[in-house]
A and B are shown apart, each in its own frame.
Chain A
Amino acid sequence: MRLASLTLALIVIASPVVTSAASAEAARPFEVSTLNEIRQAHKGRPLIVHFWGLTCSICMSELKDWGAFTRAHPEATIVFINWDQRGARPEQIGPTLQKAGLAAVPSFALGSGFEEKLRFSVSPEWMGELPYTHLITDDGTASAFSGPANFEDMSSWLAKTGPAWK
C-alpha cells in the first residue's frame, strides 16, 4: 500500500501519461505525435508500448499475462495502445483492461483516425499486425516484435536495459 502510493506519487511527478492510473477510464486518442510524446515523457527509463485489439484473439488471450507482467515489473513503464480499426467498441477498452489487471496502464486508442498515418508514426515498417510491441531502452533504442510476448525474454530485456528506474 505504502509502496503503491509512493509509486503513484513518483509517477504523477514524473509523467502525465500515467495520470489515468486510478481507474479504467476511456482510452485517450492516439495521435501522430503520441508515441514521441510518450517516449519524451519516459526518457531515461525502459518503456514498453503494446499495441493490441479487442478484435485480435491472440491479443485477448495474452492480456492477463500482460497484467501479471505489469505487476511484476513496476520499474517499467508499460503503455497500451488499442489498434482496433473501424468497428471497435471503445467503451470496452477500459473494462477489458481492468479485467486483465491492467486498469493502471496508460491507455490510448486509434479510434477512427487516419490509420495509415498513425501507423506510419509508429513505424513505417509496421503493417498493422497485432499484437505488436515496442521495446524502448533507457538510452532510447527502440526495437519491436509482432505476435505474442515472451514474458521471460521481456524480463531479461528489462534487466539488461541499463540502470532500471526504481
Chain B
Amino acid sequence: MRKHRQAAVAFVAAFISATPSAFAHGDTKHAPAAAACNTTALACASIATGTFDPDGKLWVTWNAGGRISVASSTDLGKTFSDPVTLPKTELPLDEGPDARPKIAVGQGGRVIVTYASRDEKYNGHAFIARSSDGGKTFSAPQPITSASPSQRFETAALDPDGRAFVAWIDKRNAASAKKSGKPYAGAALAFAWDDKPGGTLQPATIAKDNTCECCRIALAFAGSGRPAILFRNIFDGGIRDHAVITFEDDKTPGSVYRLSDDDAKIDACPHHGPSLAIGRDGVYHATWFAIGRKLKGLYYAHSEDGGKTFSSPMRLGSPNTQTSRPYVLAAHGLVYLAYKSFDGSMTTVDLMTSRDQGKTWSAPRSIAMTHDASDHPLLIASPAGAYLSWQTLQEGYRVVPLEPQS
C-alpha cells in the first residue's frame, strides 16, 4: 500500500511543473538540529527561564529531555553549577507556546520552581518544588492545588517579604458548570499563598471567573502581600481584552480594571500572554499582544494610579516584521521593553528604554539575533543591572546586559 502510494506520488509529481518538495518528502521526518538533542542539558532546552537572587547570582530553570532542571551561575551564564534535575512527572511536561517553568529565589537560599505537566486532554497539572539549601536539593514536588481538573500557566513569585505567591488559570468552576449543564466561558484565575515565608501553599482561591483559558498571566507586586496580576479577561459579550487585578491585601483580590479597549471579540487561542512590571515609584508598566477589532499587534501602556487607568496604548514594532512576545522590566529607575521581530529569515530582540516612567521611549535597537527557533525574550534584573535572558536553538542560553538608550 505504501509503495503504491509513493509510486503515485512519483507519477503525479512528473506531471506537476511546480514540483512540490513537500510532497516528495514521503515519510521522511523533519529533522531540525535540536531533534537529536534529547538530554536534560540546558543546551537541549527550547525554553529556559532566568532570574537573579538577592546576591546577584543568576538562576536558570529549563525544560529539556522531558525534565525540569535548575542551575545557577556566578559569572552571568558563562559557567553553571551542576544542574539539579527534578523528578520525572507522571505525565509529559506542558511545552505549549506560553508555558514555561518559573523560578524565584529569595533570602537564605530559598528557591521555588513551578512547572506543569498535562494529560491527553491537555489539562494541566502544576507543581511546586522548593529548596531551602541554595538549590542543592529540592523537596518532592507538590501539586499547587487539589480538586481541580486543570491548572495551566502557573506563575510563582516571592513577595517583598519572601512569601511565595502562585497564580494560575484553573478549570474547576468550568468543570462543575459543565457537569450541571450551565454555560461557563473560559476558565478562572486562581491563586494560593504560602502560609508563611518558606511554608507550604494554602488551599486555592478563585480570584476571577471567566478568564481566557489559553494565555499565560503576568505577575508583579504593588507591595508586600499585594500582588498585581495582568491577564486576558472575558468581558461582557465575550470580549477577550486584558485586565489588571491588584490585591487589596493578601486575601482580597481588588477590582478588575480594563487595561485597554482592544475589542477582542474572537474565540481564538493567541497563546500570547502579557507582561507586567511595577517600578519602585509604583508606576505599572504593561505590554501585551492585541488581537481586537480596534487594536492589533503589540502595545505598551502605563498606569500612575495603581492599575486603575492606563495611558493610551503605544504600538510597538514596525508593521510586517511579525513582532511578538513583548516583555517589560522596571529596574534601577529605568523601564525596559523588549520584543521579538522577524524579517523573513532572522529573529531579532529589539529593546526600548524609558527614563521617565514610560512617558517617552528611545527608538528600538536590536540587541540579539538568531536564525532559527527561539524562546520568548525575558528581561531580568540583578541588584546592579538589567539583562536579556534568551534561549535560542542555535546559540543556547545567553544573558545580554541592557544598555539604556537616550
* B281-302 contact mask (Cβ, 8 Å, vs A): 1 or 0: 0000000010100000000000
Determine whether A34 belongs to the interface, using a CB cutoff of 8 Å to chain B.
yes
Q: Known: A120-B322, A120-B344. Is A16-B95 also a contact (CB below 8 A)?
A: no
Tell me which of B13, B118, B291, B320 contacts A16 (CB under 8 A): B13
Tell me which of A22, A33, A86 contacts B20 (CB under 8 A): A33
Assess the B268–A58 pair: CB atoms within 8 A: yes
Q: Known: A31-B21, A128-B97. Is A116-B272 also a contact (CB below 8 A)?
A: no
Once bound together, how far apart are the Cα atoms of A130 and B215, in whole Å?
A: 12
Collect the chain B residues with CB atoms within 8 Å of residue A146's CB.
266, 268, 291
Chain B: interface size category: 35 or more
Assess the A147–B21 pair: CB atoms within 8 A: no
Assess the A57–B97 pair: CB atoms within 8 A: no
Once bound together, how far apart are the Cα atoms of A27 and B32, in whole Å?
A: 16
Once bound together, how far apart are the Cα atoms of A22 and B8, in whole Å?
A: 12
Stretch from A63-71, A105-113, A135-143 contacting the other chain: A105-113
In angstroms, how far is the closest chain B Cβ from the Cβ of A112? 6
Once bound together, how far apart are the Cα atoms of A127 and B347, in whole Å?
A: 14
* B94-138 contact mask (Cβ, 8 Å, vs A): 1 or 0: 111101000000000000000000101010000000000000000
Considering only CB atoms and an 8 Å cut-off, how many residues of chain A contact the other chain? 53
Collect the chain A residues with CB atoms within 8 Å of residue B95's CB.
85-87
Tell me which of B1, B18, B22 contacts A22 (CB under 8 A): B1
Assess the A87–B99 pair: CB atoms within 8 A: yes
Stretch from B23-31, B80-88, B242-250, B377-385 contacting the other chain: B23-31
Collect the chain B residues with CB atoms within 8 Å of residue A16's CB.
8-9, 12-13, 16, 20, 23
Assess the A87–B94 pair: CB atoms within 8 A: yes
Assess the A130–B269 pair: CB atoms within 8 A: yes
Determine whether A101 belongs to the interface, using a CB cutoff of 8 Å to chain B.
no
Once bound together, how far apart are the Cα atoms of A119 and B271, in whole Å?
A: 14
Determine whether A40 belongs to the interface, using a CB cutoff of 8 Å to chain B.
yes
* B238-263 contact mask (Cβ, 8 Å, vs A): 1 or 0: 00000000000000000000000000
Determine whether B201 belongs to the interface, using a CB cutoff of 8 Å to chain A.
no
Residue of B nearest to A115 (CB): B373
Collect the chain A residues with CB atoms within 8 Å of residue B23's CB.
16-17, 19, 28, 37, 41
Tell me which of B13, B22, B373 contacts A114 (CB under 8 A): B373
Residue of B nearest to A60 (CB): B122
Collect the chain B residues with CB atoms within 8 Å of residue A148's CB.
267-268
* A14-34 contact mask (Cβ, 8 Å, vs B): 1 or 0: 011101101000101111011
In angstroms, how far is the closest chain A Cβ from the Cβ of B44? 12
Collect the chain A residues with CB atoms within 8 Å of residue B99's CB.
87
In angstroms, how far is the closest chain A Cβ from the Cβ of B269? 5
Assess the A40–B18 pair: CB atoms within 8 A: yes
In angstroms, how far is the closest chain B Cβ from the Cβ of A96? 11
Tell me which of B46, B214, B374 contacts A56 (CB under 8 A): B214
Tell me which of B22, B35, B289 contacts A28 (CB under 8 A): B22
Once bound together, how far apart are the Cα atoms of A29 and B122, in whole Å?
A: 22
Determine whether A100 belongs to the interface, using a CB cutoff of 8 Å to chain B.
no
B 334-387 contacts with A by CB, 8 A: 340, 342, 344-345, 347, 372-374
Q: Known: A16-B13, A85-B97. Is A127-B266 also a contact (CB below 8 A)?
A: no
Assess the B30–A113 pair: CB atoms within 8 A: yes
A 138-156 contacts with B by CB, 8 A: 146-148
Collect the chain B residues with CB atoms within 8 Å of residue A98's CB.
none
Once bound together, how far apart are the Cα atoms of A16 and B24, in whole Å?
A: 9
Collect the chain B residues with CB atoms within 8 Å of residue A108's CB.
22
Once bound together, how far apart are the Cα atoms of A117 and B127, in whole Å?
A: 33
Assess the A34–B97 pair: CB atoms within 8 A: no
Collect the chain B residues with CB atoms within 8 Å of residue A40's CB.
16, 18, 20
Assess the B342–A116 pair: CB atoms within 8 A: yes
Assuming A125-B322, A130-B268, what are 12 further A-B pairs, CB within 8 angstroms?
A22-B5, A28-B23, A29-B29, A34-B20, A37-B23, A40-B16, A54-B122, A112-B34, A116-B347, A129-B266, A129-B270, A148-B267
Could you show 22 A-B contacts with beta carbons less than 8 Å apart? A13-B15, A26-B27, A28-B23, A29-B29, A37-B21, A37-B22, A40-B16, A55-B96, A58-B267, A59-B269, A85-B95, A85-B97, A86-B47, A111-B30, A112-B46, A116-B340, A125-B320, A127-B289, A129-B266, A130-B271, A146-B268, A148-B268
